[in-house]
């Protein structure tokens, strides 16, 4: 699958409504929302009220990436705010299986994210329960960073695990994505590209989204 999830972390927050309207007109498949708590990652972004506001304008499903500690405490709130997919970090969940069930029991999609240093093999006993896996291709916390090349190999290993375990999980990659990186990621078996600065920094974001889907 070749899907695109623009990250609004790179959007113009003074005109967030207009930016979401632009995504409505585009071929974007999701709106990627980066929630940061200043504890799990060294940055603070936005939270539940902003997601709620985005959801009122967005015609696209919200893909909510929680870069927060103890995400299980807030899952019901993010669901109420309009999340269609909730991603929690492997590194932030002591009882990951329970947290994944908590998300699925709300009738939305459950996804787990791995930081660049976390091996794919750690998902072996949960992969059949997941709707999506998010591979970080930068260290989480900031947009506009350089893509980490080891991610191609991780995507291939993950794809092999998904097929072997008969999982329906889609593979999403987040950080430093552009046309060159995106093409190689699709070839490695990735289904969804997250792109922040590459989309919102482009002269023509709508055209850039369309081109990312046709790599
Ligand atoms: C980083 C976030 C990303 C970020 C990607 O912590 O999870 O979603 O917005 O930004 P770019 O595409 O600029 O690397
Ligand atoms: Zn993200």
> How many whole angstroms from 198 Cα to the centroid of ligand 2?
13
| pLDDT, position 168 | 98
For residues 171 and 155, give the distance between their C-alpha atoms in angstroms, rounded to a whole number: 7
| pLDDT, position 200 | 98
Residue 140 beta carbon below 6 angstroms from any ligand 1 atom: yes
> How many whole angstroms from 9 Cα to the centroid of ligand 1?
7
Nearest CA to ligand 1 atom 4: 143
- Number of the ligand closest to the Cα of 37: 1
Q: In terms of C-beta density within 10 A (0-12 exposed, 13-18 middle, 19 or more buried), how is residue 192 classed? A: buried
| pLDDT, position 23 | 98
| pLDDT, position 183 | 98
For residues 47 and 110, give the distance between their C-alpha atoms in angstroms, rounded to a whole number: 19
> How many whole angstroms from 26 Cα to the centroid of ligand 1?
19
Q: In terms of C-beta density within 10 A (0-12 exposed, 13-18 middle, 19 or more buried), how is residue 16 classed? A: middle
Domains and CATH numbers, the chain: 3-213 (3.20.20.70)
Nearest CA to ligand 1 atom 10: 143
Residue 191 beta carbon below 6 angstroms from any ligand 1 atom: no
For residues 118 and 77, give the distance between their C-alpha atoms in angstroms, rounded to a whole number: 28
For residues 215 and 44, give the distance between their C-alpha atoms in angstroms, rounded to a whole number: 33
> How many whole angstroms from 80 Cα to the centroid of ligand 1?
24
| pLDDT, position 5 | 99
pLDDT digits (tens, 9 = 90+) for 110-136: 999 999 999 999 999 999 999 999 999
CB 172 within 8 A of CB 194: yes
Strand order in the sheet with 170-174: 3-6, 192-195, 170-174, 132-136, 109-114, 83-89, 62-67, 31-36
Q: Which band of pLDDT confidence, cut at 50, 70 and 90, is reported for residue 58? A: very high
| pLDDT, position 214 | 97
Residue 61 beta carbon below 6 angstroms from any ligand 1 atom: no
Q: What is the largest CA-CA distance in the chain?
A: 46
- Catalytic residue positions, numbered: 34, 174
Name beta bridge partners: 89. Answer: 113
pLDDT digits (tens, 9 = 90+) for 163-215: 999 999 999 999 999 999 999 999 999 999 999 999 999 999 999 999 999 99
Closest among 93, 81, 154, 175 to 129, alpha carbons compared: 93
Residue 195 beta carbon below 6 angstroms from any ligand 1 atom: yes
The rounded mean pLDDT for the chain is 98
| pLDDT, position 16 | 98
Q: 0.85 exceeded by the pTM? A: yes
Q: What are phi and psi of 19, to 5 degrees?
A: -65, -35
| DSSP secondary structure string for all residues of 127-183 | GGG-SEEEEESS-TT-SSPPPPTTHHHHHHHHHHHHHHTT---EEEEESS--HHHHH
Closest among 117, 141, 132 to 193, alpha carbons compared: 132
Who's near 191: CB < 8 A, 6+ residues apart?
A: 1, 2, 3, 170, 171, 172
Residue 89 beta carbon below 6 angstroms from any ligand 1 atom: no
């Amino acid at each position: 699958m070749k899907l695109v999830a623009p990250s609004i972390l790179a959007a113009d927050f003074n005109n967030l409504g207009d930016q979401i309207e632009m995504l409505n007109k585009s071929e974007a498949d999701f709106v990627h929302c980066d929630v940061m708590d200043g504890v799990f990652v060294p940055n603070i972004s936005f939270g539940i009220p902003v997601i709620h506001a985005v959801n009122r304008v967005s015609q696209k499903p919200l893909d909510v990436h929680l870069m927060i500690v103890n995400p299980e405490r807030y899952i019901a709130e993010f669901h109420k705010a309009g999340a269609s997919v909730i991603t929690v970090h492997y590194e932030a969940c002591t009882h990951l299986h329970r947290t994944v069930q908590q998300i699925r029991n709300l009738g939305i999609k459950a996804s787990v994210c791995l930081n660049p240093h976390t091996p794919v093999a750690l998902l072996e006993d949960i992969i059949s329960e997941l709707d999506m896996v998010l591979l970080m291709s930068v260290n989480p916390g900031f947009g506009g960073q350089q893509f980490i090349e080891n991610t191609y190999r991780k995507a291939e290993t993950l794809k092999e695990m998904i097929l072997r375990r008969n999982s329906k999980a889609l593979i999403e990659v987040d950080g430093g994505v552009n046309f060159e990186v995106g093409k190689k990621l699709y070839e490695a078996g990735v289904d969804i590209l997250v792109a922040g600065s590459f989309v919102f920094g482009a002269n023509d974001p709508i055209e850039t989204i369309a081109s990312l889907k046709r790599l």
